[in-house]
Amino acid sequence: TSARRFSITLDHGGDVRMMRVLSLAIANNAYEDESRFGFARPRLDQGHLAVYASRHATGWALAGSLVRAIFGTWKGDPLIWQLKTTGFTLRTRSSTLTISNDGEVERLETPLHYGILPRALKILVPA
């Protein structure tokens, strides 16, 4: 089957954005602007969510963007819409949506409500 674009409405703090996207990814903290190979996050404690929406028309165009990501030049793609936020609501016309949540692809019921609790996770680090 071919990839098809779908409509989303993203509301983050009163700023509402409507767009047609080919794919959508949500990450805990943003990826580096330029990395030597693929996607890298220098820190996981910055206290924000990063939203990446592909507005490419075809799966081939998106694949080209992913190839550029391997070489660290994906953020220059004008068809990748990006947002850093602490919370948002995502709506679609469909009752479910396939989405990448921090690298895990899931099919979830909509609307989706995202929020982040900075420094809420306590971890033990060896001395």
Alpha helices in 9-119 (DSSP H): 59-70
Q: How many CA within 13 A on the CB side of residue 91?
A: 7
b vs e for 60-74, b when ≥16 Cβ sit within 10 Å of the residue's Cβ?
A: eebeebeeebeebeb
Q: How many residues does the chain have?
A: 127
Q: Please name which of 96, 104, 98, 89 lies closest in space to residue 10, comparing C-alpha atoms.
A: 89
| Catalytic annotation, pick one of 32, 34, 104, 106 | 104
Catalytic site includes residue 34: no
The catalytic site residues sit at 104
